[in-house]
Amino acid sequence: MFKIWYKGIDFGLKTNYFTYHRKPIPCSVNLNPIVLSIPIFFLLIGIELVVERLSHRKLYALPDAIANLSCGITSQVSGLFMRLFAIGVYEVVYSNWALFKLEKGWFYWVGLFLLVDFAYYWAHRMSHEINLFWGGHVVHHQSEEYNLSVALRQSSFQVVWTFTFSLPIALLGFETLDFALISALNTLYQFWIHTETINKMGWFELVFNTPSHHRVHHGRNPKYIDKNHAGSLIIWDRMFGTFQAEEEKPTYGITKPINSLNALWANVSHYAEMAKDIQRIPVWTDKVKYLFKKPGWLPEYLGGYRKAPEVEKTYQKYATPHPVQLNYYVLFQYTLCLGLTAFFLFTQSKYSLPEKIVVATLISLWVMNCGVLFENKSWVMVSEWIRIVSYSLLLVLAIFNFDLSFMLYIPVLSYFLISSFWFYKITHDSKVVSV
């Protein structure tokens, strides 16, 4: 498969398409409806914040929302590489082994929608029932809040484990771009169901996934765990015995809270825990079983399966004390980061692969710092100073190297001075960083 992939596909970094056997195919990454929907996402989050204020409900915690958005950003920038691989494999299967040549009509599109949603259900369900796959999905469940920002909290690695579930659709003869479009729309549908502001919806809930159904899915109450895996249609859960109606209010999060706002750690924390468990298992066959058994599984001689504990009534959500000024500083940095990330995602086809890797890395480190600043870690002061200085220097070098307008030095210098003064004032006046 690797040889087919390597020799069969040539990525056109400057022409915005990749060719398969010299047949040009528009690259779906450049037409990603999810990226195009970013302004709508933030508009709806803004509306939810207004509802929060008017209803006097506590729906958002700023550090948690920042962590959610950070995971979304790292997912999108890593997706430039991960999803391209997944779509490429789909195209290889479709072009070489499709069993049928399908005509496009209403039956084609309805069939594709149902197949995409069906494949999503099983990929999602297995992401909860296979330990190795759970490591790629757990990121989405780590938030202890439930609001629209949680919808954007996505893993950078989940596609590695789940893309194969869609390959039968390629075998049936559904074109690659059509599949990519419907998959993106399926993902977009799921944005609005991440809210507590919408109650049960009557007959609609018999067929479609809704906020009530998905709140159950995010609950860590034992009765709610591994239920309601639906994408758009709840019918699959009803058919295959994984449906659970919302009864008492769910407690959100995972059974062993991550207790971190670090977006990069969020993506690898479960694998770090798995590595510790594997070291404890002496038998190689059991080590392999551990990878593919349900999360929580251990051999009987190590205590056996660890069931999800009941939710403690005295449990407190993860939070760290920090000065109010830090909120404004992080919002300032994050607004700039969001703007630059959106610009990068909308224009990424113009950059070479090494340039994409560099920019994606810089963005990931930036959002990591924004989250860790709330955690009062002793190293974050050094890390943030390094970031402020190094990013400013990199911008200066970029302006010089690409012979850009001299006027661009002014905003770069302004950013350096504002960030430096502001962060110095916070760390010395409020002693945000603990030793």
Residue 291 lies in a domain: no
Place of tokens 């001689």: 301
Q: Is residue 292 part of a domain?
A: no
Closest by Cα among 64, 58, 60 to 259: 64
pLDDT on residue 366: 97
Asked whether residue 293 is domain-assigned, the answer is no
Domain-embedded: residue 159 = yes
Q: In this model, does residue 224 exceed pLDDT 80?
A: yes
Rg (CA), the chain: 23
- Provide the token pair at 392: 């400013």
- What's the token pair of residue 310? 């009941």
* Tens-place pLDDT, residues 384-417: 999 999 999 999 999 999 888 999 999 999 999 9
The residue out of 217, 240, 263 marking a domain boundary is 240
> Please, what's the b/e burial string for 147-159 (b: 16 or more CB within 10 A of its CB; e: otherwise)?
bbbbbbbbbbbbb
Residue 307 within a domain:
no
Apex 131 CA angle, 126 and 135, nearest 5: 95
pLDDT tens by residue, 42-100: 999 999 999 999 999 999 999 999 999 999 999 999 999 888 889 999 999 999 999 99
- Is the domain of 100 the same as that of 217? yes
| Domain region containing 60 | 2-240
- Total domains in the chain come to 2
Residues whose CB falls within 8 Å of the CB of residue 239, separated by 6 or more in sequence, listed in order: none
Q: What is the pLDDT of residues 275-289, one digit of tens each?
A: 999 999 999 999 999
Show which of 189, 223, 240 is a domain's final residue.
Answer: 240
Given a cut of 60, whether residue 36 has pLDDT beyond it is yes
Residue 185's identity, in one-letter code, is L
> HEC states along 7-67?
HHEEEECCCCEEEECCEEEECHHHHCHHHHCHHHHHHHHHHHHHHHHHHCCCCCCHHHHHH
User: Which of residues 195, 219, 240 is at a domain's end?
Assistant: 240
Does residue 315 carry a pLDDT above 90?
no
Residue 262 domain flag = no
Give CA–CA dist 217/229, Å, rounded. Answer: 7
Are 117 and 231 found together in one domain?
yes
